Structure 1
Amino acid sequence: MAPFLHLFLLLSAVATPITATSAYPSIPGTDAEDCKISSGDGSPVPIRREVYGGGRIFDITHRYTTDLPSWPSDDGMGQFLWLPASMKNGSLANNSEMKMATHSGTHLDAPGHMIDRYFDAGFDVDTLDLEVLNGPALLVDVPRDSNITAKVMESLKIPKGVRRVLFRTLNTDRRLMYKKAFDSSYVAFTTDGAKWLVENTDIKLVGVDYLSVACDDDLVPAHLEFFEGREIIPVEALKLDDVPAGLYTVHCLPLRLLGAEGSPVRCILIK
C-alpha cells in the first residue's frame, strides 16, 4: 500500500498551486534579481522575510547558511544539513539531519560555558529562566569608536529597572555576521564593562551583535563577570540590521538541550 500512497502524495503535490498563504506569506525563489543580498563570498542570496505583521514584528535571528561565520574558523559553518531521506529517491517523506556546534549563529550561553563547576552541577540551557528571555527590552546604539567598556556603559544611561538590553555596535555596521571568515576585531564587552553592568544595572539579558559577548582581548574574564552570579543570560549574534532603536518586547527561545552549555535560539522583537 505504501507505493500507492507515495504516488498519491506526488500527484497531490503536482496538482497543488504554490501560492502565498497567511501562514506562509513568502514564496521562495520568486525574488527579483535586484531583491537579493550578497553572501560572505559575494554570491547572491534571495532575501527572506525579516519583518512581519505590517512592520510590528522583527526577526533578529541570523539565517543558518554554510557561510555563516563560526568561531574561530575562516571557512564558515560549512555543511551542517543533510537530506538522508528524500522523496526524490523514493522515501515517503523528506527528513533532514543536522550537526552543528551549540554556539553557532544566533545563540545563548548557559553558566557552564566557562565555569566548570556550574557545568558539573547541571546549570544547562534547560535551567535558564524563560521569564528573563521574554519581556520588555531596550535596543540601544553603542558609540562606534569603542568596545563596551565601563565608560561606555555609564554613558548609555540605561535606566534602573530595565532588565533586557540589546547592544547594537560597529559589528552591525561592518556586517560581520555576513562575512564567512571569523573576525577577531569584533566589538563586545571588556571586563570592566561587564563588571559595571553587573554592579550598576538591573540588566539580566545581554544581547550583542556578534558571536561573543566578550571582546577577543577579554574573552574569559568578561564572560566570567556575567556567569559567576548565574543571573545574566548572554544572547549572541543577534541580527539588528534596520531595526530602529527603542523599546520592544523580546521573545528568545533556546532548545531544551539537557546537559548543553549553549543553544541556538530564535529571537524576535515586537513593537
Structure 2
Amino acid sequence: MSSLFLLLLSTAITAAVASIPAYPSVSTDCTVSAADDNPVPVRREVYGDGRIFDISHRYTVDMPSWGSKGGLGQFLWLPSSMKNGSRSNNSLMKLQSVHSGTHVDAPGHMVDSYFDAGFDVDTLDLDVLNGPALLVDVPRDSNITAKVMESLNIPKGVRRVLFRTLNTDRRLMFKKEFDSSYVGFTTDGARWLAKNTDIKLVGIDFLSAACYDHSVPAHLEFFEGRVRKL
C-alpha cells in the first residue's frame, strides 16, 4: 500500500544551514553540563556527526496552534511533585489540539473512512519517516503550486523533501497567534507532486502542508494513492 506522509516542521535544516537565524543552533557536545552541583541540560540538534538532525519544535505555551489567537496555552501540569512530598515527579500533558508544533498527519486526518478503520500514526512506515531528505527553498512570492513544483526540478528517486518557504523568513512558528496567510501547497501543487515525483514524505515549515484556502482538497491529493488502494 503506497502512501505519502505529511511531516509538519518548525524549520527545515541541513548541516549547511543549522545556524540560520530562524532556527538558532545549540551546543552539540553533551547532554548535561559538567557542573556536578548544578547540572544544566543541553538541548541538542545534531547527533552522530550530522547523521541525525532534530528539527522538531520545542513545545511552549506561546507557540502557535491551529486556529488559535492565544497560542497553545498551558499543556503541562505536575500533579505529583517531589518538592511536595511525592516519591517522584509525574507530569500530566494535555493538548488543546494535536495540530500543534512538529507533527505528522495520520492517514485518517482528512479521510474519514481511514479514521474509522483505525489508520492512525502507528500505521505509518518508519522507513519512510526516517532517512536522508532533500531540502529545497521555495520561491518566496507564491504558494507551492504546480508551476512552482515543476520549477524546483526535484530529481526522480528522491523520497523525502523538506520545503523551506516564506514561513521561515516570517518566523511564523515563533509567533503566538495562528496566521492563516502561511505558505503551503495548493491543490494543483499537491496533485503535481503526487503524479510526477517519487516523494513519499513532505515536510514544511508551518502547521499544515496545504495552504489555508486549499487545506482539504490539497490533503486529499496527497492521500489519493492510499485512498484508491484501500
Q: TM-score, normalised by structure 2?
A: 0.79
Counterpart of 1:157 in structure 2 is 153
The residue that corresponds to 1:171 in the other structure is 167
Q: Give how far 1:117 is off.
A: 0.8
**5+ long unaligned stretches in structure 1:** 1-19, 32-46, 232-271
Alignment partner, residue 61 of structure 2: 66
Once the two structures are TM-superposed, the CA of residue 50 in structure 1 deviates from its matched residue by 3.2
The letter of the residue matching 1:67 is D
CA distance in 1, matches of 2:164, 2:116: 33
Q: Letter of the 2:203 partner, please give it.
A: G
Partners of 1:30 and 1:53 lie apart in 2 by 23
**SS of aligned partner of 1:227:** helix
The AA in structure 2 aligned to 1:63 is R
In 2, the alpha carbon distance for the partners of 1:27 and 1:168 equals 36
Runs of 4+ in 1 over 3 A off after TM superposition: 25-31, 47-57
1:116 maps to which of 103, 109, 112: 112
Q: CA deviation at 1:48?
A: 4.5
Structure 1 residue 90 and structure 2 residue 85: aligned? yes
Q: What is the aligned residue count? A: 197
- 1:82 is paired with a residue of what secondary structure? strand
| SS of residue in 1 equivalent to 2:113 | helix
Paired residue for 1:189, among 163, 185, 191?
185
1:25 Cα deviation from its structure 2 partner: 3.7
Distance in 2 (alpha carbons) for counterparts of 1:220 and 1:181: 22
Q: Which has the higher contact order (CA 8 A, sep 6+)?
A: 2
1:114 corresponds to which letter in structure 2? Answer: M
30 and 23 in structure 1: CA distance in 2 versus 1, 3 angstrom threshold:
closer
Preserved contact between residue 158 and residue 198 of structure 2 (Cα < 8 Å): yes
From the superposition, tell whether residues 68 and 30 of structure 1 become closer, same or farther in structure 2 (CA, over 3 Å).
Answer: farther
**How far off its partner does 1:218 sit?**
0.6
Percentage of matched positions with identical amino acids = 78
Separation in structure 2 between the aligned mates of residue 30 and residue 86 of structure 1, nearest angstrom: 19
Structure whose alpha-carbon radius of gyration is higher: 1
| Superposition map of 1:223-262 within 5 A | 223-230=219-226
Q: Deviations over 1:128-174 (max 9, x none)?
A: 11111112210111111110000000000000010110000000111
Q: Residue in 2 aligned with 1:81?
A: 76
TM-fit CA distance, 1:24: 1.9
The alignment partner of 1:198 has SS state of: helix
Q: Is the 8 A contact 1:194 1:222 kept in 2?
A: yes
Q: 1:125 to 1:87 in 2, by over 3 A?
A: same
Structure 1 residues 27 and 203, CA, compared in 2 at 3 Å: closer, same or farther?
farther
Separation of aligned partners in 1, 2:168 and 2:33: 25
Equivalent residues of 1:26, 1:49 under 8 A apart? no
Does structure 1 retain, via aligned residues, the 8 Å contact 2:46–2:54?
A: yes
SS in 2 for 1:83: strand
The structure carrying a bigger strand percent of its residues is 1
